[in-house]
Structure 1
């Protein structure tokens, strides 16, 4: 009579890892065994659950799939390591105990407990049974940190001691190293060796199960991990633990391990595992179907029914915020022009995929009716999907091109139909400094402009009716570079928005490539001079955000409850896009130096810091205190509590380093 083996595994894996594990199970040699499989499906990704169902259908083994409890703790993994907390450890222990109970209840001769991120050699189970041990694991090796050496999943003593020594024996450093390397070298040689701890790829006999080995927590032991408690209990019940090293498994600890795992499986394949290819094709079709539905929903329109929210459920929160910046304007345009549109996907293909991101190339057509005129527009581009909680995939980036190859400005239907095109110049960009000034001659103007002149190509300056030498200083410093300077006849800072918009219009009239919006008391770190060309001579981003530090003197900045500007990134540098509809906060004070909806474009954080010197002397603080209370006495446009702390005698200061 054939011996009966139950393969048991709790499963929570991304599909790309799981399919290789399942392929290795289907590839196991077990002709002289009756082999069944028991999965506990704890997957977050529905595609992984589908893979288990495919395995159940196409493999030659009897497969039971039980749903796990997905309410306990998210499992976090990245390219560096894996993160387990106590709840998750004992949740998995409970799953393993459930598998043990099923095995005992159904009178299997062996239980093979295996983790679902392993790729097994075909002879694994046969070799473990042949070793004739009650509890034995097949070895595998892992780099627990990306830059560390490979180590085994078995050990000799305690938590993870790999050095042979007797109780109380004291070893010197040299002997410690020799024994450490001796144990590791032994495990590289084919054989069966006694160890003190094991896990993740373990064969257990019916006798050991009958005597009570399990993964219950031992309350008076603090060792971390359910495998430690299993091993200690097994030893207490009289069982020695062993490792077999004839057919090491391959551990997919990181996604970067996938190429090696694929090569390992293909090198050792002895069975038909073509069902994996069919499963992968079906999984990819799910992603492509999602994109096609998105294209049809988001880019189809009937102006009589349009709400502006069509397709919004397909976007990540970050990208939805970009859409919201322009959606009201776009909706008005669709209604005014009586737009009806039917979107039809043409082609789509996955061009790149990781555990958390999918890149898809798409082409589609728009059949448009507008004010009685009909036309068809063809578009193509790239869409990025990002993985969210509960394994949802949402659109996080859209880059579309017109038939002539030009890049679309924006991604909404209204923007596409207006043939708005994005500038994406990648070299020889002109940087234009934009600045608003008033009576800055005796303050920080000379320092600010002298520094900016080292990297800006030209400047546009609006003088708010200065009565000192401000204009002369500007002309002196920018005498060798193009300078546009306009002086207003009357002081207008009580209505800042009018000044900011006037300055913006003056600047865009010079046809800038990039605009740097600085105030007369702001100076970047010197590194801006070295890196500015890298920032602006690229096609991908249209703005950069920076942190602004409120300096209380040359070497210290303020940080307390109401002084935390440096903890946030704000836009100071933006590429000018002529086809973008810029919008402003229409408030007399604190309206912002740039249009608020620039965030609808693609941008990037930059860690070059910016000094704000406008508070850096007692005289400047006194002047600003009086000005803010005069222009905004109720704190309607700013923070009245911050105004009241400007002259605090003991501010909290930090060293600029």
Structure 2
């Protein structure tokens, strides 16, 4: 019989010690997050933007600070009103212990605007904005923040967006591994009609996501068709992508490795290739940094000036309350970890509707008794015919975490063009149909 080690002996003796020495547990790690934005928007947009920043609800313990770059041009008559609004936000946030840093950066006249059917960007404007974002990156590095959340000022996020980005970045591993953490860069997905729609258009304009698979903006490749990629995003999946931007959570290790918005010098000049996000993503790929699209949150992009009047309605939709235990048919976002197989492949992020999501029965049954944020250990028995032979006819302990649950609903903006079964909740994306088929479905839906 082997002898106890000194540590084991001391532990055994302490169990019966009538007056043990008590020591406090280590303090819970606080994740430091810097929210950064380059702002050139009128006050009705910025008021909604800061409201969405303030209503973020986190179960991860965080400390949030802000770095804004105000980038107004001489013709922006709304600039002073927006600055006054931001000063009020600054005063309120600082009174609650947040650090707010902002800088004024002059914007040349005429290098950006709404150019009729599309936004009008010059290459100089893209690279100027990229340089301003690089200034925010440098501040995040200098002040030793754990994550930088770069959000455009016209991107309005639901209250659980930041937590979902942290979950998709595998913040659990960050809390365990600290400086050794090598998690991905994650962007919350939103949909936009990049060209203005007109009833007289010969070709239908479709909403597109701000994530892509091939540069400069291709939604196919890497094993996807356009339709299958769109379907995965509409289903709120967590996907690897090769392009993203505008609502991006970047871990410190990616910034320290040199990922930034400066020109890479190898993308063809002109057109969309000049966009600062493309240079950032191209550099991320060359640095072997994984990019993840998180399609779980509801995010509204107030892109066109004539869409600003829709902001109050959008905010009303975004301001949801987290439910208790999910019910059959609800959407769930979960993390599964096989505790008996120590490989990263055994950590899975799953999203879908309860009752349709492919899950072991033991795990699905457990989910009905959890509330968002809960974790539970579940023993799962795999049958002899299970596809993975190394797991067939065996049982394993899984940790299941319910990140979030919500009633089934389509993401904002894209819901305007999808055909949706009111009873079945089945979805048809018109991008996979002929114009005649789409028109017939539209007539049937309104008939």
Per-residue CA deviation, residues 168-198 of structure 1 (Å, 9 max, x unaligned), is xxxxxxxxxx921111111011221001100
* Residue aligning to 1:251: 301
Report the Cα offset of residue 270 of structure 1: 7.3
* Residue aligning to 2:287: 237
SS of equivalent residue, structure 2 residue 63: strand
Matches of 1:204 and 1:135, distance apart in 2: 5
Contact (CA 8 Å) 1:73, 1:88: kept in 2 or not?
no
**1:54 and 2:100 correspond:** no
For residue 193 of structure 1, the aligned residue among 228, 236, 239 is 239
* Residue aligning to 2:17: none
* Residue aligning to 1:150: 207
| Distance change in 2, residues 1:53/1:80 (3 Å) | farther
**1:4 and 2:61 correspond:** no
**1:63 and 2:100 correspond:** yes
Output aligned runs, 1:411-560, within 5 Å.
none
SS of equivalent residue, structure 1 residue 82: strand
Contact (CA 8 Å) 2:126, 2:275: kept in 1 or not?
yes
**1:80 and 2:117 correspond:** yes
SS of equivalent residue, structure 1 residue 69: coil
For residue 139 of structure 1, the aligned residue among 182, 185, 189 is 189
| Distance change in 2, residues 1:41/1:216 (3 Å) | same
Contact (CA 8 Å) 2:259, 2:280: kept in 1 or not?
yes
Matches of 1:55 and 1:80, distance apart in 2: 34
Output aligned runs, 1:146-545, within 5 Å.
146-147=196-197, 148-165=205-222, 179-222=225-268, 223-269=273-319
Question: What TM-score comes out, normalization by structure 2 length?
Answer: 0.55
For residue 141 of structure 2, the aligned residue among 104, 108, 118 is 104
Matches of 2:314 and 2:306, distance apart in 1: 14
Output aligned runs, 1:631-642, within 5 Å.
none
Matches of 2:82 and 2:116, distance apart in 1: 20
Matches of 2:237 and 2:207, distance apart in 1: 19
| Distance change in 2, residues 1:165/1:193 (3 Å) | closer
List alignment gaps of at least 5 residues for structure 1: 167-177, 272-657
Matches of 1:184 and 1:270, distance apart in 2: 24
Matches of 1:255 and 1:108, distance apart in 2: 34
Report the Cα offset of residue 224 of structure 1: 2.2
* Residue aligning to 1:113: 150
| Distance change in 2, residues 1:47/1:74 (3 Å) | farther
Contact (CA 8 Å) 1:191, 1:244: kept in 2 or not?
yes
Matches of 1:58 and 1:74, distance apart in 2: 34
**1:128 and 2:128 correspond:** no
Report the Cα offset of residue 164 of structure 1: 2.0
Matches of 2:234 and 2:188, distance apart in 1: 12
Report the Cα offset of residue 165 of structure 1: 5.0
Greater RCO (CA < 8 Å, at least 6 residues apart): 2
Contact (CA 8 Å) 1:198, 1:241: kept in 2 or not?
yes
Matches of 1:213 and 1:73, distance apart in 2: 29
| Distance change in 2, residues 1:28/1:16 (3 Å) | same
**1:17 and 2:45 correspond:** yes
Contact (CA 8 Å) 1:113, 1:202: kept in 2 or not?
yes
SS of equivalent residue, structure 1 residue 220: coil
Per-residue CA deviation, residues 101-120 of structure 1 (Å, 9 max, x unaligned), is 00000000000011111111
Output aligned runs, 1:577-596, within 5 Å.
none
Report the Cα offset of residue 267 of structure 1: 3.3
Matches of 2:310 and 2:193, distance apart in 1: 13
Matches of 2:134 and 2:158, distance apart in 1: 25
Per-residue CA deviation, residues 231-284 of structure 1 (Å, 9 max, x unaligned), is 01101101111100110310001133224332221233379xxxxxxxxxxxxx
SS of equivalent residue, structure 2 residue 306: helix
SS of equivalent residue, structure 1 residue 246: coil
Extract structure 1 runs of 4+ deviating beyond 3 A. Answer: 71-74, 267-271
Per-residue CA deviation, residues 350-388 of structure 1 (Å, 9 max, x unaligned), is xxxxxxxxxxxxxxxxxxxxxxxxxxxxxxxxxxxxxxx
SS of equivalent residue, structure 2 residue 295: strand
Matches of 1:243 and 1:139, distance apart in 2: 6
Contact (CA 8 Å) 2:298, 2:318: kept in 1 or not?
no
Question: What TM-score comes out, normalization by structure 1 length?
Answer: 0.38
Matches of 1:144 and 1:71, distance apart in 2: 24
SS of equivalent residue, structure 2 residue 298: strand
Matches of 1:245 and 1:220, distance apart in 2: 30
Contact (CA 8 Å) 2:237, 2:296: kept in 1 or not?
yes
CA RMSD, Structure 1 to Structure 2 (Å)? 1.9
Paired residues, number: 260
Contact (CA 8 Å) 2:111, 2:122: kept in 1 or not?
no
List alignment gaps of at least 5 residues for structure 2: 1-28, 171-182, 198-204, 322-447
Matches of 1:159 and 1:71, distance apart in 2: 26
Report the Cα offset of residue 79 of structure 1: 6.6
Report the Cα offset of residue 159 of structure 1: 0.4
Matches of 2:277 and 2:89, distance apart in 1: 27
For residue 89 of structure 1, the aligned residue among 126, 141, 146 is 126
